[in-house]
Amino acid sequence: MPRERLSMRTIREMLRLRWEAGLSQREIAVSCRLGRSTVRDYLLRASATPLTPAASEQMLAVLN
């Protein structure tokens, strides 16, 4: 059975905790109540894109 998708709010929070707070994957998993492998997968996907903290802030400003 496929797993449920995470909300955009949760994904943004994961990225913020990684880029701004510098938390480890384990700390992010505890904070967001997710599995470590889920956090790892999403962070790997984010690192595979040209997404940077500055670019993500611009994207969020446009969406809001």
Tens-digit pLDDT profile for residues 2-60: 778 899 889 989 988 998 899 999 999 999 999 999 999 999 998 888 877 777 777 76
Q: Which tokens belong to 40?
A: 């790892």
**Predicted pLDDT at 3:** 75
What one-character DSSP code corresponds to residue 21? S
Contact 17, 28 (CB under 8 A): yes
Instruction: Give this prediction's pTM.
Output: 0.77
The candidate with the shortest Cα–Cα distance to 25, out of 12, 41, 9, is: 41
What gap in Å lies between CA 33 and CA 44, rounded to an integer? 18
The candidate with the shortest Cα–Cα distance to 42, out of 62, 32, 55, is: 32
**Predicted pLDDT at 63:** 64
